[in-house]
Amino acid sequence: MAITPAAPCHGCAANRDEVLVQLGISPGRFDYLVALAGNPNTGKSTIFNSLTGLRQHTGNWPGKTVARADGGYQHADHRFKLVDLPGTYSLQAGSPDEEVARDFILFGQPDVTVVVVDATRLERNLNLVLQILEITDRVVVDLNLVDEARRHGIAIDERKLATELGVPVVPTVARTGEGIPALREAVYRVANGETATRPYRIADYPPELEAAVDKLVPLIEDTYPELPNSRWVALRLLNKDERVEDAVRTGEIGVLASDAAAAATGLSTGRGGSRPEVASISHATAGSLALAEGQVEPASPGQAILRRTEQLRWQLSPDYHDALTRRFFEAAHEIAQSASATGLRKTKFDLDRTLDRIFTNRWLGFPLMLLMLAAVFWITIAGANLPSRMLGVLLIDNLHPILSNFGASIGLPGWLNGLLFDGIYLATAWVIAVMLPPMAIFFPLFTLLEDFGYLPRVAFNLDSLFRRAGAHGKQALTMCMGFGCNAAGVVATRVIDSPRERLIAIITNNFSLCNGRWPTQILIATIFIGALAPAHLAGLVSATAVVGVALLGIFSMFLTSWFLSRTMLRGEATTFSLELPPYRPPRILQTLYTSLIDRTFIVLWRAIVFAAPAGAVIWLVANVSVGGASLAEHFISWSNPFGLLIGLNGVILLAYIVAIPANEIVIPTVLMLTVLTSAAVAGVGEGAGVMFELESAASMGVLLQTAGWTTLTGVNLMLFSLLHNPCSTTLYTIYKETGSARWTAVSALLPLAMGFAVCFVVAQVWRIVG
Amino acid sequence: MNPVFSLLIFLATSAVLVAIFWPRTGLIARLSRYRRLEERVLIEDTLKHMYNCEYAGRRATEESLAGFLETSIGHAVRTLARGEEMGFLRFEGLEPVLTKEGQQYALRVLRAHRLLERYMADRTGVDPVEWHAEADRLEHTLSRDDAEGLASRLGHPLYDPHGDPIPTAAGGIPPMEGQPLATLDEGEIARIVHLEDEPPELFNEIVAAGLGPGMRLRLLDTSLNEVQFEADGRVHRLSPAVASRITVVPAGEAVQLPTHSLADLEPGESGQVLGISPILQGPQRRRLLDLGVVPGTEIRAEFESSAGDPVAYLIRGALIALRRDQASLIQLVAEPEVDDAAAGRLEGAEA
């Protein structure tokens, strides 16, 4: 780390590097370390992205499942490393997120801490700023969302705010990038010491804390007379600040305190008293050196201070903490009031409230919700139909034969040709054709609703229903996302910050019938259930059956949530709070564009990573022969008895095993395997190992029925398609989000066990009755 | 296979699996509890019991120990003898007394126990009635380093959720204070400082009544078979046996007893926060504090959800939705009462 004369040395540089490694940052290769902190939902990630561009790296904090991103940027010929801390409301270390944030600022000692503040909620956000100012001087406040503030008639005087807080305040609009260059400059100036900060320190704490400080300060001043800020040290000790404690114990406190003084470069600082001038700093350094040489003796003066601190802490009332928090909020209130003017535009405020009244109205609320969701689903299904078909024609009907022939023409051996083009390529193409259009429509629509601010109101309305099942209202949203894609639904559970409710949402997300399973459901319903009804009602009947299965899924979700919260997840922590942000006009085109691109990449990535190997396995299983029959045939005949017992058959079981990667390829695989193993329908299709579908549902129905499928098989296939283990993408995502092999296993096995049990019971009852 | 047959086999197997694996009442859960009867566990529990007695100013006896360990008196005697052998206690005449080593050991176990209870209260959703039993089970497995790490993560708490002080790593612990509830003057307002968690049945009754350390109450009446007091806007009646489990400290003159909560507000009404009920601890409490629910804050109820619960409140400039059970634990300052006498005089004068 480059140490310029103007930048004070942070105690032992070597020590800090060690600590940084523990916190997961590789030392060196940067000039300045910058931490990015702030409340959740302040646009912090947008700021992070604006500053680092694509030069970022995501992962987890060591030993925790808290996500982390870090990146870098260049400014004024210096390299800055930026670490994105989790969004937190405070630093009280009550949750893993807060522990991570506090530990990093306290022990990692970043050169600058940038706190992103929401201009529309200044007072609440200042609580975190003031807490951060208690433990570090080198802070820059990023006043974000100033455009939103303007829209709501709030004007903030950033110069006044900066004067009050004693640190630079930079207004930004993260969405457009306004203010980012100024932010970089402000960070640089604080990092290299050009800007001296005089951070606001609360002058009068609650009386009992002040009394304790008054008793402790004389002892500290006696022991370390040259310390310029004994009051700050006393407060930190009473708050059990471990770093300061260690420094007092070893005598290093002289160095640490001189840092805090040096940051103010010798000016008289703090509002709680004056500090001696520059001379004291050199004294402090000399004093600390003497102390360091003296080293730690058993009954060192530092120990005496710590013992006294312990006694004083016992005298504080058990809820002194509440009084302390209140003091922070009072200070935040004063500062916010003096620096902002509100109510400049009355009309906008009323619009928000009117919308709220409509969306949460007792009579209108639920119907409006159902209408919105129905609209989203209908647009997705209707809109994806044509593009899916076109993609299918392009990739499968046209490209596939071309590639096959090409392979043959360049002399590829038959098996390699088959493996590459019939297996791998075909599976990948299938997944893309089936998945891409619906995902590209469903998710942008959802993101629009989210941007607009409607989704939290949905969670608000449905919360009491979910609470009875032991879950959180926001699970309604992740459940809806799951109807698009279960993996996306699992990622969406990040908005649930209560650990138990989050786990419940993750494990039960699979019961939302994802886009990949709709074709299976619709097809089987048409063949086996619609066929039972008179022709003019067939369509309606099969649609009802599919909706029925989806509703069964939702019911299973509630049931499983309730079950989990009463048994396996009983002891996990729970916190509920739901913030209802103001409504925001969505930037329709921009959102559609970004969401579209995002989704396309994800689908392509998933197709290549998961579907391609599946295609290989499918082809191999059908073509590799052992003892005269293919592996597929062996497995199917072996598992058929069990399959029949639960109302399915060996073909379906094998198809589901090889299609763990992707639900979309279940039907084509089933058809291929049926042809492979059933003499009655041999000759149909494209050959062993080549997935296919027929033109009409009716012809597929004939094929299956000839091979021995009954209505029971169809019904149970629909049920099993709903209640089986999540696809491999979802499992992988669950593992990454929870960091726990145990919960991933539960997510996989619980639905599977339910599927087997339900199919079994249905089959027995069917056979008894029918 | 005959479907009826297979169904029956399936149901039978399910029943057996449930009986074995169901948490807490299943076979496996019960078996793991019986593993507690190891010697080390017995010794530690003995020292803990002796320490608790001495802290309260009493002496442990063979009978009290037998009751505490839930074993026979003979077993208790043998355990005491073993403890003497190991140097943790000595006998003064017939009474067992802790040695210095015994005291330190007991404090370490106590520290582990109370830290675990604090952890369960603050970081998990474990039911309050289970804290003691769970901490009892786990305290023997916590090493000194483990305890330090736990204390650090929790921010070095001073008290456990029952109001008992958590001994520091160096063994520091403040002296016991407070008086039994029934000894207060009638009408006196006091703060609960301690709830005795042994025996569990009495403690569960206290928890079921919605009482916890830190809560304020006003003694109304004591009689031979019942103790009456007001807390949380309700009148509580407890038997003297249960009430003896509650230790209080008088709160002084200027203290207000909370009567209203946020849940009493209708949409459009606002109130000033008095505090968050001490019953609410842990992550829930912290989250509310972080959102600005501190004494003195003005909160206005804005609108209800379609289902009636949760309700959206305006707190420090942000719209936050809270469930009714949370809102009922946020205490509000009582509205100033209308002076009825003065109002009557005015009306009389006008007439």
Task: Give how far B340 is from chain A: nearest CA, Å.
Answer: 35
* pLDDT computed for residue A50 by the predictor: 83
> Strand B330-332 and strand B260-261: pairing?
antiparallel
In the numeric block, the tokens 């569960």 are attached to: B204
B251: nearest Cα among B184, B193, B191, B178: B191
Grouping H, G, I as helix, E, B as strand and the rest as coil, residue A84 is strand
Q: Are the beta carbons of B317 and A123 separated by less than 8 Å?
A: yes
**By the 8 A CB rule, do A487 and A730 touch?**
yes
Q: How far is CA B138 from the centre of its chain?
A: 18
**By the 8 A CB rule, do A615 and A427 touch?**
yes
**By the 8 A CB rule, do A172 and A70 touch?**
no
CB contacts of A581 in chain B (<8 Å) are 319
Beta bridge mates, A116: A38, A142
Nearest residue in A to B24, CA atom: A567
Q: Are the beta carbons of B319 and A763 separated by less than 8 Å?
A: no
Buried/exposed A183-195: b ≥16 CB within 10 Å, e otherwise: bbbbbbbbbbbeb
Q: What distance in Å separates the CA atoms of residue A159 and residue A391, rounded to the nearest whole number?
A: 57
CB contacts of B124 in chain A (<8 Å) are 571-573
In the numeric block, the tokens 């060591």 are attached to: A62
CB contacts of A121 in chain B (<8 Å) are 316-318
Instruction: Mutate one of A325, A503, A584 to test the B interface: name it (highest B CB count within 10 A).
Output: A325
Angle CA A449–A561–B25, to nearest 5: 165
Please give the backbone phi and psi of residue A115, each rounded to the nearest 5 degrees, phi first. -110, 120
Q: Are the beta carbons of B303 and A360 separated by less than 8 Å?
A: yes
Q: What distance in Å separates the CA atoms of residue A454 and residue A467, rounded to the nearest whole number?
A: 20
Helix locations, A533-630, DSSP H:
538-566, 588-606, 612-623
Q: What distance in Å separates the CA atoms of residue A336 and residue A305, rounded to the nearest whole number?
A: 37
Radius of gyration of chain A (CA): 32
* pLDDT computed for residue A299 by the predictor: 60
Inter-CA distances, A349 with A148, A149, A154, A625, B291, Å:
12, 11, 11, 72, 21
DSSP A229: -
B270: nearest Cα among B338, B336, B337, B332: B332
Task: Give how far A414 is from chain B: nearest CA, Å.
Answer: 44
Residues in CB range of B300: below 8 A, 6 or more apart: B265, B268, B269, B270, B313, B314
Q: DSSP string spanning A97-138?
A: HHHHHHHHHHHS--SEEEEEEEGGGHHHHHHHHHHHHHH-S-
Percent of residues in chain B assigned helix, strand, coil, to nearest 5: 45, 20, 35
Q: What distance in Å separates the CA atoms of residue A555 and residue A175, rounded to the nearest whole number?
A: 40
* pLDDT computed for residue A4 by the predictor: 26
Mean pLDDT of B112-119: 90
* pLDDT computed for residue B94 by the predictor: 80
CB pairs A-B closer than 8 Å: 186
Q: What distance in Å separates the CA atoms of residue A691 and residue A713, rounded to the nearest whole number?
A: 21
* pLDDT computed for residue A37 by the predictor: 93
A491: nearest Cα among A482, A499, A483: A482
Instruction: Mutate one of A460, A495, A498, A504 to test the B interface: name it (highest B CB count within 10 A).
Output: A460
Mean pLDDT of B248-253: 80
Residues in CB range of B318: below 8 A, 6 or more apart: A121, A124, A579, B291, B292
Q: Are the beta carbons of B303 and A311 separated by less than 8 Å?
A: no
Choose among B125, B283, B306: nearest Cβ to A362.
Answer: B306
How far from each other are the two terminal CA atoms of chain B, in whole angstroms? 94
Q: Are the beta carbons of A500 and B286 separated by less than 8 Å?
A: no
* pLDDT computed for residue A31 by the predictor: 85
Q: Token pair of A121, please?
A: 């909620």
**By the 8 A CB rule, do A670 and A684 touch?**
no
**More confident site: B225 or A347:** B225
Task: Give how far B224 is from chain A: nearest CA, Å.
Answer: 33
**More confident site: A37 or B56:** A37
Choose among B22, B294, B318: nearest Cβ to A329.
Answer: B294
Q: Give chain B's largest Cα–Cα span.
A: 95
Helix locations, A393-454, DSSP H:
400-409, 414-417, 426-452
Task: Give how far B307 is from chain A: nearest CA, Å.
Answer: 6
Choose among B155, B278, B322: nearest Cβ to A92.
Answer: B155
CB contacts of A305 in chain B (<8 Å) are none
* pLDDT computed for residue A51 by the predictor: 86
Residues in CB range of A519: below 8 A, 6 or more apart: A434, A664, A667
Q: Are the beta carbons of A93 and B155 separated by less than 8 Å?
A: yes
Mean pLDDT of B85-114: 88
* pLDDT computed for residue A290 by the predictor: 32
Would you put residue A261 in left (φ > 0), alpha (ψ -120 to 50) or beta? alpha
Q: Are the beta carbons of A90 and B306 separated by less than 8 Å?
A: no
Query: What is the dihedral angle through the alpha carbons of A152, A155, A161, A164, rounded to the nearest 10 degrees?
Result: -100
* pLDDT computed for residue A231 by the predictor: 80
In the numeric block, the tokens 């790490």 are attached to: B149
Grouping H, G, I as helix, E, B as strand and the rest as coil, residue A656 is helix
In the numeric block, the tokens 């949460």 are attached to: A360
ipTM of the complex: 0.76
Grouping H, G, I as helix, E, B as strand and the rest as coil, residue B303 is strand
User: Which pairs with CB-CB distance under 8 Å and at least 24 residues apart come from A266-271?
Assistant: A267/A196, A267/A198, A269/A198, A269/A229, A270/A198, A270/A201, A270/A229, A270/A231, A270/A232, A271/A200, A271/A201, A271/A203
DSSP B239: -
Grouping H, G, I as helix, E, B as strand and the rest as coil, residue A52 is helix
Task: Give how far A122 is from chain B: nearest CA, Å.
Answer: 8
Q: Token pair of A362, please?
A: 């007792």
Instruction: Mutate one of A89, A246, A303, A360 to test the B interface: name it (highest B CB count within 10 A).
Output: A360
* pLDDT computed for residue A561 by the predictor: 92
Reported as type and span, the H/E element at residue A148 is helix A146-151
Q: Are the beta carbons of B153 and A99 separated by less than 8 Å?
A: yes
**More confident site: A262 or B84:** B84
Query: Residues B121-141: pLDDT tens digits?
Result: 877 777 777 788 888 888 888
Evaluate if residue B119 carries a pLDDT over 90: no
Residue A380 CB burial class (10 angstroms; 0-12, 13-18, ≥19): buried
Please give the backbone phi and psi of residue A704, each rounded to the nearest 5 degrees, phi first. -65, -40
Answer positive or negative: Cα dihedral of B80, B85, B88, B94: positive
Instruction: Mutate one of A764, A765, A766, A769 to test the B interface: name it (highest B CB count within 10 A).
Output: A764
Query: Residues B59-80: pLDDT tens digits?
Result: 888 888 888 887 888 888 888 8
Evaluate if residue B93 carries a pLDDT over 60: yes
Nearest residue in A to B175, CA atom: A314
- Single-letter code of the amino acid located at A338: S
Q: Are the beta carbons of A578 and B310 separated by less than 8 Å?
A: yes
Nearest residue in B to A326, CA atom: B294
Please give the backbone phi and psi of residue B277, each rounded to the nearest 5 degrees, phi first. -55, 140
Task: Give how far A739 is from chain B: nearest CA, Å.
Answer: 19
Choose among A567, A577, A761: nearest Cβ to B287.
Answer: A577
* pLDDT computed for residue A557 by the predictor: 94
Instruction: Mutate one of B17, B154, B286 to test the A interface: name it (highest A CB count within 10 A).
Output: B286
* pLDDT computed for residue A11 by the predictor: 42
Choose among B168, B309, B317: nearest Cβ to A121.
Answer: B317
Q: What distance in Å separates the CA atoms of residue B82 and residue B43, rounded to the nearest whole number?
A: 8
Choose among B3, B287, B303: nearest Cβ to A575.
Answer: B287
* pLDDT computed for residue A418 by the predictor: 81
Inter-CA distances, B73 with A171, A762, B65, Å:
74, 58, 8
Residues in CB range of B208: below 8 A, 6 or more apart: none
Grouping H, G, I as helix, E, B as strand and the rest as coil, residue A1 is coil
Residues of chain A with pLDDT under 50: 1-13, 258, 260-298, 348
Q: Token pair of A485, please?
A: 């894609």
* pLDDT computed for residue B7 by the predictor: 85
**By the 8 A CB rule, do A509 and A479 touch?**
yes
Q: What distance in Å separates the CA atoms of residue A82 and residue A69, rounded to the nearest whole number?
A: 9
Reported as type and span, the H/E element at residue A373 is helix A365-392
